[in-house]
Chains A and B, each alone.
Chain A
């Protein structure tokens, strides 16, 4: 009897399957995806673009898969000498730039700028890169958005080889990307992408809810609201560093004990739990754990007692400094105010000022690369702490030592690593960007609108 009841239940479940299963599903061609972003991009040049957008129009010699392994892109194969100094990349035959000109070794060599001590030459279908120092990770480096292959016309307009070509460009406002019918990886499913720039986060959120946009960027606050309303969101791996940076040449910043006192006073957990609503992670390291694997070695815990002891050692009337933030960024403001409160508890007076000259500032720096060496190099350039970094560090241990040296100098105090949060419209299918945020929309397709 009991068995019969179970069989009946199973039968009812199975009969219900077709009605509850998702609709049919092989990818569909056609449609224009509307993508909104906060940033205003002025030039149709990948060097000016957020890295996530670059793969829409441009390809590199190689690209990375979801596990960070290199895959062929414009180069089909590559090899190196025993010292990892000379690399040869064999190009994919028959590929053309969007302007119709062929992608050959000479064009690639003319485009690829890898620094003063690197020779790039091309002959036939092979590009040769000769470095002075061993570069075992060169293919992974070349997967970075800054090394895409493009052709610059006489008018300065760039032409890529990617799944979409630039069909229309209104600087800082609006762009239309059209499907590249001859794309070497197969024509994308979408006919095109409409890129709307300089959209306030709140406006993007509203557009998503009203079905006026298919993919939008969400602030932390809007992301929470979107989730509560049942909208589909996507969160990247932590891909932005929020840090407190001391300005050089100003008295407070030139005092190592002062910098250390402020660092010890910061309550990162409060910032993460309250201000960031647990998005991302507290950061004691410059690079997040998923990029290096050793970020856990940098403690992020507050040591208020020690901060108080150090502050007590400063001459009267006690340590003080000014802290600025980007006045258009409410999150930076909240973090700055929280740091001032934390510092006051330790006996340090910090005055928060919007923008302008100050002893410290809140910096929000997108991590452009999942490659730890490149990412560290970028941060060294942004914070002017290049002398503490070792860009030729090719081992994880060497990078750890370089990062440790920078952290222990306290000129840059990591606070947290933030993810990118996107709102995804209900018609969008196959949305699977890389976890660090590269948007490869060649596989994305749109469910037809139901009448």
Chain B
């Protein structure tokens, strides 16, 4: 697999390095990681309260509480924020410790697909409970 940064004799070092820097697009991820961190911290307070209300609850009790629009909305926000934060955080770790470009990119793509699927399943589940199991 030929990579942009491979040396084939014709490229100058500058040409090989261009576009591989840490700036530009990554800044967006850096900011997103901070914004979702703040969102997570705020939603955590609601989440702890929600857990205190539903710990050990029966299925009917739990779905009844989650079906309350205020709880369902907070839960969906938490899922979106927490999963975005998790993906960005794990991306940072993968980028730091995986030095083989092929494995790195494979791992990142796999991670995106997997977490997007799990987050979508969570949001759908909350909506189903909110729309069909409310009191």
Verify that A and B bind, or say they do not: no
Q: Which residues of A are interface residues toward B (Cβ below 8 A)? A: none
Q: Which residues of B are interface residues toward A (Cβ below 8 A)? A: none
